[in-house]
A and B are shown apart, each in its own frame.
Chain A
Amino acid sequence: MPQPSAAHPGAPLTAGDAAIEISGLTKAYRGGQLAVDGLDLVVPRGSVFGFLGPNGSGKTTTIRMLMGLIEPTAGSARVLGLPMPGAGRRVLPRVGALIEGPALYGHLTGRGNLLRLDAADPTADPRTRAERAGRALERVGLAAVAGKKTRAYSLGMKQRLGLAAALLQPRELLVLDEPTNGLDPQGMREIRTLVRELAADGTTVFLSSHLLDEIEQVCTHAAVMARGRLITQGTVAALSAAVLGSSGRGRLTVTTPDPADAVRVLKEHGVTDLQSAGDLVTGDLPPAAGPPDRAGTPGAPGTLGASEGPDGPGGPDLAELNAALVHAGVRVRAFGTQRASLEDAFVRLTGEGFDVAG
């Protein structure tokens, strides 16, 4: 799996580094309901930034304000260093966007759709238009159906065409609102690979999704919104670690045919909150072990999910725990730590599943 190039997730940010800088952004709809409430957000240049939140948490409203489609009630947003929506004419040609799913002209072909959107951009050179459209179509794997009317496209094909429109020009920032929505697993993988490639070329990617796997796999940074407010932001690694605190290193999991003996031995070695179910024994490692310091580690997506954790220094060594079990005659089938995923972090933060906020 190629790693995003974003490189310095832990580095301190200065204003000039930010691809998107939001401060105090607020949007009240008619009736006074706050869709977005005092949002502060910084998206570093070169990052792949995951924007998380339950449905109705204000993600799309935020994205629309960033793109100049909605006027904020209060606060300000700067995109690529310029104020939005004021500097839209200078900012938007450098931004590729996929907002709330694709929207196409059904009576035009795939190519026709791209040519029209490109014609709408006053900075796009008409002499290279056909060639650029062709390349964008190839990049998303639609070259073979470019001449078909998009009325006949499947949702996945429409989604790809939407991405192709975002790739018509070299962009400094890509804003992708749920880009893998409606795609089959193969298509999802391709899009993620594409996002990583683009990030590797230096494009900043702002990716909203409610698929936590996706954020974990692709993103270097993430922010979580709920009910119009920002709950947290930071590197994906730091986010999981900070939220999960001492248990950031995960729960000890032992599979054994002798659960009762295993519980006794582990208790003697300071493991707390022991639970056994069938042949599975789980428990929290003693706090002395401390959470592994993941905050400063360069974003290592893909390692946060269920993993057999290597252990840091301090506290009882996992290897010693295992030796103690075996020494006491406990037969061990499997042994390791189950690391909490971003999903755990998310549920803990928002205190809810993906139900619409009330």
Chain B
Amino acid sequence: MSRADTAPRRPRPLWSLGLLRNEIGTTFRRWRTLALLAVLAGVPVLVGIAVKIETGGAGPAGGGGGPAFISQVTNNGLFLVFTSLAVTLPFFLPMSIGVLAGDAIAGEAHAGTLRYLLVAPAGRTRLLLVKYATTMLFCLVGTLVVALSALTVGALLFPLGEVTLLSGTTVSFGEGLLRALAIAGVVALSLTGVAALGLFVSTLTTSGIAAMATTVGLLITVQILDTIPQLHTLQPYLFPHYWLSFADLLRDPVYWDQLQKNLGLQALYTVVFGSAAWARFTTRDITA
């Protein structure tokens, strides 16, 4: 431990990724993250069992009512993937993102670990990027957990086979699977806006719980605003407005219009709230 030892320390660019690796490992080993993923995995199981009991295995369920695609589940287990994503996307998925993103900075501040990360020095911009990247990864993992759980339950409870698309065309099971994968990707990207929003909220407070509650509260408020007809001029700018457009991937040819609007809107939210989070976090006094 002499001063001579301190001189030859040359940082390598790759070493900067150490924090991201550590953050991902820490997040996904955390009991809370695993519990959120377990809840997400449980939703398709519930939906699958409910459909199975309701229909008693005797022919297709009655038309209308219930979440999208639910009437097709009994014919093809693959549709449980679409149904489950349609069920979890409005609330379960964004809520778990809200918990993770809201806690990202505020939780560290609340525990006091933020000051030690910053004097390490993690660097404020780097830390923010690491947190956002980890939250995005959770968006993808959460979506895949729902999809895989649904596929497993669907395969166990219902027959699998060729997929009849919404436009009436029939495609092979393999292509159906590919389309399911694409849908999972679109769903994960649909969540990036709310992730950026949550991260911004997280930089505003030193209470992880408050940040989580605010993010989830905003999510619910926006979802309600999106259903009030009088606000139709505002609605195209609300982040959940085009969420269910992922169903357009089940058409032949695919309708890109709403999908593009959805992804554009998510990018807009990411840029706006990401910048706001950066502006706030890099200038804030860390007193916790």
In the assembled complex, the Cα of A122 lies from the Cα of B123 at a distance in Å of 9
Q: Are B286 and A69 in contact (CB under 8 A)?
A: yes
Q: Are A124 and B18 in contact (CB under 8 A)?
A: yes
The CB with the most chain A CB atoms within 10 A, among B3, B21, B116, is that of B116
Q: Are B283 and A67 in contact (CB under 8 A)?
A: no
Chain A: minimal CB distance from B112 (Å): 3
Q: Is A70 an interface residue (CB 8 A)?
A: yes
Q: Are B283 and A201 in contact (CB under 8 A)?
A: no
Q: Are B122 and A103 in contact (CB under 8 A)?
A: no
Chain B: minimal CB distance from A343 (Å): 30
Q: Are A93 and B9 in contact (CB under 8 A)?
A: yes
- The interface residues of chain B, by DSSP majority, are classed as helix
Known: A71-B285, A89-B123, A126-B18. A170 touches B1 (CB 8 A): yes
- Chain B residues near A97 (CB, 8 Å)? 116, 119
Which of A104, A106, A120, A198 contacts B120, CB < 8 Å?
A120
Q: Is A105 an interface residue (CB 8 A)?
A: yes
Q: A143-185: which residues lie under 8 A (CB-CB) from chain B?
A: 162, 165, 169-172
- Chain A residues near B1 (CB, 8 Å)? 170, 198, 201, 203
- The interface residues of chain A, by DSSP majority, are classed as loop
Q: Is A125 an interface residue (CB 8 A)?
A: yes
Chain A: minimal CB distance from B22 (Å): 4
Nearest residue, chain A, Cβ from B112: A103
Q: Are A202 and B2 in contact (CB under 8 A)?
A: yes
In the assembled complex, the Cα of A115 lies from the Cα of B19 at a distance in Å of 10
Known: A93-B121, A108-B26. A119 touches B3 (CB 8 A): no
Q: Are A171 and B26 in contact (CB under 8 A)?
A: no
- Chain A residues near B127 (CB, 8 Å)? 120
- Chain B residues near A169 (CB, 8 Å)? 6, 9
The CB with the most chain B CB atoms within 10 A, among A89, A101, A129, A170, is that of A170
Q: Are B11 and A105 in contact (CB under 8 A)?
A: no
Chain A: minimal CB distance from B19 (Å): 5
Interface size of A by CB at 8 A reads 47
In the assembled complex, the Cα of A123 lies from the Cα of B19 at a distance in Å of 12
Q: Are A116 and B26 in contact (CB under 8 A)?
A: yes
0/1 interface trace, chain A 73-117, chain B, CB 8 Å (1 if under)? 000000000000000110011110101111111111000100111
Chain A: minimal CB distance from B93 (Å): 24
Which of B5, B15, B117 contacts A170, CB < 8 Å?
B5
In the assembled complex, the Cα of A103 lies from the Cα of B111 at a distance in Å of 6
Known: A88-B121, A124-B18. A103 touches B287 (CB 8 A): no
Known: A103-B111, A119-B18, A124-B18. A69 touches B119 (CB 8 A): yes
Q: Are A117 and B120 in contact (CB under 8 A)?
A: yes
Nearest residue, chain B, Cβ from A135: B1
Q: Are A121 and B6 in contact (CB under 8 A)?
A: no
Interface residues of B (CB under 8 A from A): 1-3, 5-6, 9, 11, 15-16, 18-19, 21-22, 26, 30-31, 111-113, 115-123, 126-127, 283, 285-287
| Other 7 A-B pairs with CB < 8 A, given A68-B121, A119-B21 | A69-B287, A70-B287, A119-B19, A122-B126, A165-B116, A198-B1, A203-B1
